[in-house]
Homo-oligomer: A and B are copies of this chain.
């Protein structure tokens, strides 16, 4: 049975392995929530499945369950009322360890096959996962479907492809025959065993529980480790569904389902830090705050730690040939999921003497106003606005929005929108503040949420120096520039490569700086403080296992 899954998905895996090299466009899972692609009843079925979870106990048949936890609330205004198993890790972790030997002895093919079958079933249930993501993160439905479903699945598949390729780079056996001149050659048979590290802990965030969680989850599982999912207390359901499907596939493939388990907790219960310090945990994948990520890097020394933390993302405006396209693009980037993306731009640098836009010269004030107006205009229809903004995930974001209005001249004030479908949803539009380059104490750190600063700099060179400083000191996941001058673009490419952040140039169409495409864009670089790893590259998978050999004479 277990080999069957590999055969079933072999072509997908092989195509994924090509894609991670070529880095053109490729996707295994259709991103459109369409009945034609997912089945005409898929939306209704998914919604019903989601609603079926509400106010019930989400059972996972894992050992060491000692009660129920869970207090998720939908940013769209309701309590989910779902509870999950409360885990006794003294029972759960040994059960996970006991499951590893048979899993590590299965081949890379078998493990990849199981992972791809899990992803395949997740894909079939993309609507159900989408509603789960929507009502935990506050993402509007379309984003919840795409980022929480097929895009996350693509990121998971990408990690499996990297893991598979890495494991296959060492032959399973070797024959060593060393000439000895006129004497018989020395001959040895060698075996090279892929040995997992142990249990991988995946610490999730409350904004992209699957998209950020799947790479580490599948990279660890594919390389022979067990995986303990510890979702954010505010976004448990999407990972609970993932764990349930994983256990079902593992069981069908003849493996111990305890290779994948869930530890849920209530808000305010410390759990991630407790789990991270357990000696059984050998790998940690973390998405969250800089403080927590730094703590893990400093303290969880017994484990391989991969972190994605906070950063300050920047747009540099130098000059432009398509001003309207630029404004539309920036406005959308600021509104998308209310700036609650780790890739959302925060600082927008504009020379204080203005810019060249086509044949025109536009003053700093004109550019700043155009950005604010662009956002206003884009959000003028509340029904459309909420489908981009989604809802505010948590109280912390709300407080930052409020506080931001006192940080400088308000170019655009945040507004409350009543969601036509969910009147109790917490919806806020972006606040945009005008600052000067000298206000570094304000803009040189992250203000997570729909908060942007338009910052007057001396010139583009100055803007570039400020981005480099922010990337090096605060970290960043994205940088963007608009310029019609090739020399400026080249200088920015050079500066951002040196600073260690991915750059997008002149985005005026349907690609946004917030978005990174699986199999093509690397998310994070590992080269600046925002993340110590990239999703996904060779370094992200290579240390999740070791090769341990034995040899004997042939």
Taken together as a complex, chains A and B put the C-alpha atoms of A178 and B26 apart, in Å, by 8
Residues of B within 8 A of A460 (CB): none
Contact check, A195 vs B510: say whether CB atoms are below 8 A apart.
no
A499 CB, nearest partner CB in chain B, Å: 8
Q: Can you report 18 A-B residue pairs in the complex whose CB atoms are below 8 A from each other?
A: A23-B171, A24-B177, A25-B177, A169-B538, A174-B520, A180-B510, A186-B510, A191-B493, A195-B498, A298-B301, A496-B548, A502-B549, A502-B551, A504-B552, A509-B553, A522-B549, A526-B546, A527-B546
Interface status of A21 (Cβ within 8 A of chain B): yes
State how many angstroms separate the Cβ of A294 from the closest Cβ of chain B.
10
For residue A91, CB closer than 8 A to chain B, the reply is: no
Tell whether A537 is near chain B: CB-to-CB under 8 Å.
yes
A280 at the A/B interface (Cβ < 8 Å)? no
* A539 touching B550, Cβ below 8 Å: no
- A489-527 contacts to B (CB < 8 Å): 489, 493, 496-498, 500-511, 517, 520-522, 525-527
Shortest CB-to-CB span from A314 to chain B, Å, is: 14
The residue that A546 contacts in the complex, of B178, B193, B534, B549, with Cβ under 8 A, is B534
Smallest distance from the beta carbon of A490 to chain B beta carbons, Å?
10
Q: Is A175 an interface residue (CB 8 A)?
A: yes
Tallying the copies of this chain within the complex gives 2
Residue A188, interface by CB 8 Å:
yes
Report how far A508 CA is from B553 CA in the complex, Å.
9
In the assembled complex, the CB of A548 is this many whole angstroms from the nearest CB of chain B, namely 5
Interface residues on A, range: 35 or more
Task: Tell me, rounded to whole Å, the shortest Cβ–Cβ distance linking A413 to chain B.
Answer: 33
Which residue of B has the minimal Cβ distance to A197?
B527
Binding site for B on A (CB under 8 A): 20-25, 101, 165-166, 169-171, 174-178, 180, 186, 188, 190-193, 195, 197, 297-298, 301, 489, 493, 496-498, 500-511, 517, 520-522, 525-527, 534, 537-539, 542-543, 546-553
Q: Which of A20, A509, A550 has the most C-beta atoms of chain B within 10 angstroms of its own C-beta? A: A550
The answer to whether B170 touches A537, judged by C-beta atoms less than 8 angstroms apart, is: yes
Q: Are A186 and B534 touching (Cβ within 8 A)?
A: no
Note all chain B residues with C-beta closer than 8 A to A170.
20-21, 23, 537
| Complex contact B171–A22 (CB within 8 A) | yes
Which residues of chain B come closer than 8 Å to A165, judged between CB atoms?
169
* Residues of B contacting A522 in the complex (Cβ-Cβ under 8 angstroms): 192, 547, 549
